[in-house]
Amino acid sequence: MIKTLTFILLITFVTLDSQEFKTYSFQNLPEKLEKPILIYMKTTWCSVCKIQMRQIENDPELKKLFNDKVYFTIFDTEKSKDTINFLGQSYQYIPNGNSGIHELALALSRNQQPIYPTWILMDSDFKVLFYQQGLTDNAILRMQIIKPFE
């Protein structure tokens, strides 16, 4: 009995923990938005971004909210080199030697140099509901995602 219960609990935990994110790119967002967009701006070299993702990956409740309540978009501002059409404008990648940055990152960062990570939550009319730079507590993210549905 104990072994069976332990096995069931282990399977349940592994299933919850292994839940993957449904992510969207700017190009594959639905034409008619039925829920808010949560944009996570990051870079591959950002150690704080890695800490942030590790915190999220260890939070099954938050991952479920990302999947169910928002269009979760992970935007690597230095690796995304395609033209992105967003909010009626086209944005290009701006190369700078071996590196560069996407124009959309600058626009979303209020035309300043982005701080990583940056979280932006927009409603279906693209009104900014939440804007946070730097490491953000999971409880704050949960609260911001739930708030538009209250």
Question: What does pTM read for this prediction?
Answer: 0.84
- Are residues 148 and 123 in contact, defined by beta-carbon separation less than 8 angstroms? yes
From residue 145, how far is each of 13, 82, 141 by CA, in Å?
24, 28, 6
Contacts of 132 (CB under 8 A, 6+ apart): 118, 119, 140
Residue type at position 145: I
10/39 Cα distance (integer angstroms): 33
- Taking only the tens place, the pLDDT of each residue in 15-30 is 444 568 799 999 999 9
- Are residues 41 and 114 in contact, defined by beta-carbon separation less than 8 angstroms? yes
Tokens matching residue 149: 């549905």
- Taking only the tens place, the pLDDT of each residue in 40-98 is 999 999 999 999 999 999 999 999 999 999 999 999 999 999 999 998 899 999 999 88
Residue 75 pLDDT: 97
Helix (H) or strand (E) holding 12: helix 2-17
From residue 60, how far is each of 17, 33, 44, 64, 146 by CA, in Å?
6, 25, 23, 6, 15
Distance of CA 123 to the CA centre of its chain: 14
